[in-house]
Every structure is written in structure tokens, then in C-alpha cells.
Amino acid sequence: MKTLLFPITLWLAIASLVFPLNAQSVSKLELEKSSALNVWEKVTITPEMVSSTGELLVPTSGSQEFYRMKVRLLASPSISNPPPATTGIEAGESVTFTVDSQGEGLTYQWYLGLSGDDSQAIQDATSQTYNTGALAADTSYWVKVTNVVGSINSETATVTINRPPTIASQPASQTILPSSTATLTVSATGSAPFTYQWYRGNLGATTAPVGTNSPTFTTPALTVTTKYWVKISNAFGEIQSSSVTVTVQANTAPTISDIAAQSITVGSNTGALAFTVGDAQTAASSLTLSASSSNTTLVPIASIVFGGSGASRTVTVTPASGQAGSATITVTVSDGSLTANDTFVLTVVNAPAAPTGFFLIPAGSFTMGDALDGGGDAHTVNVSAFYMAKNLVTKADWDTVRTWAISNGYSDLAVGAGKASNHPVQTVTWWDGVKYCNARSQQEGLTPVYTVSGAVMKTGSTAPVVNWAANGYRLPTEAEWEKAARGGLSGKRFPWGDTISQTQANYYAYSGYSYDLSGAVSNYHPTYATGSQPYTSPVGSFAANGYGLNDMAGNVYQWCWDWYGSYDTSSPTDPRGVSSGAYRVFRGGGWHYYANDCRVANRNRSAPSLTFYDFGFRVARSSVP
């Protein structure tokens, strides 16, 4: 819509007037006219008022008088011959684009990019013709044609650089088994499209074309070693790949390492026995395992379970419940056509009667370390069978042994402390625990475990040599302690499950741990927080765990054999800690500590000479009669 104002004195002087109109699309035009000076009215002009000669007849208001003027109607621009959609050139050449268009008063602006994207206007490119200059990469252009009526965009014109093919990745040689196939792949860059022709034979030999027009070629089943290569072409050149060899290699049997004979007690399993597999032609991850048993009554096939991956595998054998005897276990590895096997004898014997006050902790593997509460040190450990004392060493136990020991060369064995005779002994060092074990062993006619310079350790603080096969008393290793504390449960926070309350253990309740169900009030155990500290409880005051052991959480901390250090995950069977250090491990939490310390995976450390009123211990024995 456009409003034009003219004084009456000028109407007769105008011979013609150019309006930005298209007679085919504009429906009306408003002009202002008047029959008297400075008095203006509006009149609507419709296309019907435009004569075939281009004259515009405008009637005066209230009469049939018409003013006559010439009107030229301008058309919007149009493009009759756009730039070509695609132009191919050699690198370094240029392209001159021309656009043919219709309309009056036309202007031009060329742009980089796709049609309609006017963010990259080309400076000074404002004519019908545009020269790109020397190009080294594919580039797109378009032009906008404009006049006072409107504008029109050309389609995108793309200039591509003509590139002969180059090989981005060569096909690779392969080794296969007889009557197998190989898949060869090549990739190319350059101007598409490409054609591919594979050939069998030496590089350059074209007498044996094979395959289809594809960058990938799968050979037929081969029985002999064969060479291949591929030629890649486009409109601008061709290139040959390197020659590859598909080697057909005779299959050889896989290998399997030896698994030693095993002897376990009734009710236990072999743990995860490690062995390795391999094959010259087949990836270790593709090798499969199977097993057989010469005595399926003792060892059902279903009870032989494989683990591990790749070359490193494990086998766990669980005999039938209550069965004793022997079975030859055969482990077979297969590559799909050939096999290899290894056999070992498993002997299952009835366990000797446990010493009074002890329970047998069966051999087997378990997950040691913290897999809960953000812990990242969980790992699999295999522990041989051993005996663990049902209860902590009490003050009465300590006094009985110490009285004998003082008269038999144990001159520096501490007096120890205990709230009552049936409470755990505490305020004893790690050294005191070791010497107590030796003294009790000698008192009962058993072989002491700890020696220094070949003599039974009775005094001093020289790190002892350990005879793990001796049948005397000893401190449990850290792995033995945790296996025993878990009571046969897997992946739990405590010996009985994932939560704790003061109905299950003697510890300091604290509402800051979601798994502590003792209530919102922080406090010592209300039953045993009487008199002066320590607030220990009589041993066995709470329900035993799955192995029959009492106080594996709370009451007093328990010394273990190990020096404190990082877990040794390279020796998963019967780990005994690092070889030296400044601190010894203690486990289990106590009456003075939070629920967090009572977790079976929780580790603590102390100098072996330190005493405190919540440090105690329990004893273990190797599984020998």
C-alpha cells in the first residue's frame, strides 16, 4: 500500500507516474486528490481502473470528472538462467558465474554458502557475473537479485575440486584356517563416485578379477595361501592398493596349563583354581571350556564352574553335600575343531573334629574388601580351611595362660585388663597376642607357630618367622578374619546383613549412618555403659554369625597377623599381607566406635606396641588334626 500526495495544481502537469505495482497481483492503490487547493480526499484505485493503454482514470468526489495520468507497473525480478548447480575444476582454477534475470532496476549480491544463508556476503560481488578466483577446496555460492518490488535467490552453485582417488586405509593381510574365508576392506578419498575392482594374484596382475564393485571383498573358502589387491578409479584417475596375503595355516590344538591336585574337607569347595589357555590360530577369548568328572556322585558336572576371561581362566569345584572320596576332573579347551585337556584329582576328606571352642572355616573363595559405601578395593581371595575361635580371648583365658607363661620364660607378657573374667581381655599389644599364642600352644602340647632365630618366640619384639603348617595357636590373617567374619554371606556390610542395631552388637550408636537402625540418639550401648569405661560386654552376648562365631562386630577390636598395606591382588590364595611395615592390622570395631567401624570390610591399623582399652584379639589354628 502506498499513499501519494499531490497539490491540485500539479495534476495536469504529470504526464505519467511510475508506481511499484504489478497489475496482475496488486488489488488496489490509494491516491490522494482534491478539486480545491489543500483539500485532500482518498480515492481507492482498483486494477479495473487501469486501461489497456496503461492509463489510470481517477474520478473526482461527487462528480463524474476524471483526472488522467499514466502508470507503469513494475514486475518483481525473476531468474531465467541461474548459475550451474555443480561445476568441477582442477585445484587452483577459478570459475566465472553468470546469472540471467528479468526486471527493471535490478541489483545483485553474491554470497558464500547455501542458498538463503546471507551471513557470508562476498565484498564487491555485486554484478551479474562473479569470478571465484583460484580455488583449492569445494565451495558453494549463490546470488540474490533485487529491485524496488522484491528479490529472488538463485539455487546453490557448488564448485568441486576434481581429485583422483587416494587410499586412506590399505587392506590388511590375514591368517585363516583351511576352508575359511577372509574379508578384505579398503577405504579411499577423492572425488566420488569410485569404482572398485579386486584381483587375485600378484600386484598389478589383472588376469583374475574377483569380487564386486565394493570397498569390501570376502574371499571364497580357501585351502591355499592366496594374494589379492584392488584397483580404485574415479573420473579423474585410478590407484592400486598394496598387495595382501591371506595365509591358510594348518590348525593346531589349543593349550591348557596344569591344574594341581586338590585336597579339601567335606563341606568346602576348591575355590577359584587359576589356569591359562591359548591357541596359535584362535583368540583366547574364543576358546571354550568343558569339564567331566570320573565320580559324578562326588562331583556332579553342574558343580564344576568356570570363570575368568581371555587366556586367564578359573575353575571352581563344589563337591556334593556331605560326600567324601576322590574324583578325577578333566578340563577340556576347544577351538571349535581341536581340543586339549588337563586332569587333576580332587580328594574330599572328612574334617577332623574341631578343637573345643573352635569352628572350621571351610576353604573357598570370597570377595574381600569394600564393595559398598563407595569402596573400590573389592577383590576375590581364596582361603584354605582353618579353625577360628568362637569367642574373643577373655580375661580369664588370658590370666590362665599368662600364669603358666610367666613361669616358663615369657617374662614380658603384659598383665592385660578386662572388666570381668568373661569380658574380652584388652589393653594388650600385638606382640602380647603373638606370645600368648605360643604360650598357649606349649601349655597344651601343640607346636608353636612363631619363632625367632629358630627358637620359640617368648619375649622381645623381633618380627617372628611363621610356621603356617604348625598346629598351634596363632593370630588370623586379615583375609582369614574377614572370611570368618562374613559367616558365609557374600557382599554384605555386616556379619548378618546390611544394617546394624544395638540388638546385634556392642558399639556406639550414631544417627549419621543410614544403616544404623539404633535410633536418632547417639549413645553407647545402654546395657553395657555402666560403671567406668571400658563398656565391654561379656563374650557371646549377641547372636553368632553363620560360622558360629561371636562378636565379629563390636565389643573390642581384634589384632590380625598382617602388616598394614595395600591389598596384594597378585596372590589371591591365602594372602598374608605385605612383607614389612610400621603398623599391624586390627579389625571388627568396638564398644567405643561407630557402626562404620563394625563393617566386615573396614580396615584399621596401629603400631604393634600400642595398647588401648578396646584392643583385644581371638586366636586361629591351621586345619590340621
Per-residue pLDDT reduced to its tens digit, 517-572: 997 778 999 999 999 999 999 999 999 999 999 999 999 999 999 999 999 777 68
Residue 311: burial class (beta carbons within 10 Å; 0-12, 13-18, 19+): middle
Per-residue pLDDT, 12: 28
Report d(CA 34, CA 67) in Å as an integer: 10
Q: Percent of the chain at pLDDT above 70?
A: 88
Close Cβ partners of 523 (under 8 Å, ≥ 6 residues apart): 508, 509, 529
- What is the three-class DSSP state of 481? helix
pLDDT at position 57: 60
| Distance separating alpha carbons of residues 189 and 216, to the nearest angstrom | 15
| Residue 190 amino acid letter | G
- Contact at 8 Å (CB) between 154 and 118? no
Could you give the CA distance from residue 1 to residue 148 in angstroms, rounded to a whole number? 14
pLDDT single digits (tens) 82-116:
999 999 999 999 999 999 999 999 999 999 999 99
Residue whose grid cell is 604360650: 439
Sorted by sequence, the CB contacts under 8 Å of residue 407 that are 6+ apart come out as: none
pLDDT, tens digit (0-9, with 9 covering 90-100), for 321-336: 989 999 999 999 999 9
| CATH fold for the domain made of 166-248 | Immunoglobulin-like (2.60.40)
Residue 232: phi and psi, rounded to 5, are -115, 130
**CA-to-CA distance for 433 and 439, rounded, in angstroms?**
10
Which CATH superfamily hosts domain 78-161? Immunoglobulins (2.60.40.10)
Q: Please, which pLDDT band fits residue 250 given cuts at 50, 70 and 90?
A: confident
- Could you give the CA distance from residue 98 to residue 131 in angstroms, rounded to a whole number? 9
Q: What is the pLDDT of residue 542?
A: 97
Q: What pLDDT does residue 41 have? A: 44
Phi/psi region, residue 479 (left: phi>0; alpha: psi -120 to 50; beta: rest), is: alpha
Residues 6+ apart with CB under 8 A from 1: 29, 30
From the CB of residue 9, how many other CB atoms can be counted at a distance below 10 Å?
8
CA distance linking residue 123 with residue 110, whole number of Å: 8
Q: Fold identical between 255-349 and 357-625?
A: no
The region that residue 528 occupies, defined by phi over 0 for left and psi between -120 and 50 for alpha, beta otherwise, is alpha
Read off the C-alpha cell for 440.
598357649
CATH of 255-349, one of 2.60.120.560, 1.10.287.950, 3.20.20.70, 2.60.40.10: 2.60.40.10
Residue carrying the nine cell digits 575392482: 197
Q: Which residue has the cell 572328612?
A: 350
CATH class of domain segment(s) 357-625: alpha beta
The pLDDT value recorded for residue 73 is 65
pLDDT at res. 566:
92
Lowest mean pLDDT among 28-42, 72-86, 385-399, 489-503: 28-42
Q: CB count, 10 Å around CB of 69?
A: 17
Q: Is 227 exposed, middle or buried (0-12, 13-18, 19+ CB in 10 A)?
A: middle
Q: Is the pLDDT of residue 597 over 90?
A: yes
Contact (Cβ atoms closer than 8 angstroms) between residue 248 and residue 176: yes
pLDDT value at residue 115: 96
Report the C-alpha gap between 92 and 119 in whole angstroms.
Answer: 25
Lowest mean per-residue pLDDT among 71-75, 177-181, 419-423, 584-588: 71-75
Residues in the chain: 625
pLDDT tier, 624 (very low <50, low <70, confident <90, very high otherwise): low
Q: Does residue 354 have a pLDDT over 90?
A: no
For residue 439, which of 478, 393, 491 has the smallest C-alpha distance? Answer: 393
Distance (Å, rounded) from C-alpha 270 to C-alpha 361?
13
Inter-helix orientation angle 430-443/395-406, to 10°: 70
* Residue predicted with more confidence, 365 or 407: 407
pLDDT of the residue at 50: 62
- The pLDDT value recorded for residue 522 is 86
**Rounded CA gap, 480 and 497, in Å?**
19
pLDDT of 62 strictly over 70: no
Question: DSSP labels for 243-312?
Answer: -EEEEE------EE-----EEEETT-----EEEEEE-SSS-GGG-EEEEEES-TTTS-GGGEEEEEETTE
Give the mean model confidence (pLDDT) for residues 451-456: 97
Which pLDDT does position 574 carry in this prediction? 92
pLDDT at 177: 86
Q: Would the pTM count as exceeding 0.85? A: no
Q: pLDDT band at residue 45, thresholds of 50, 70 and 90?
A: low
List the grid coordinates of 115.
542458498
Pick the closest to residue 215 from 192, 176, 187 (CA basis).
187
pLDDT band at 411 (very low <50, low <70, confident <90, very high): very high
**What is the share, in percent, of the chain residues with pLDDT greater than 90?**
74
Show me where the domains of the chain are located. Answer: 3-73, 78-161, 166-248, 255-349, 357-625
Q: Residue 109 and residue 97: Cα distance in Å, rounded?
A: 12
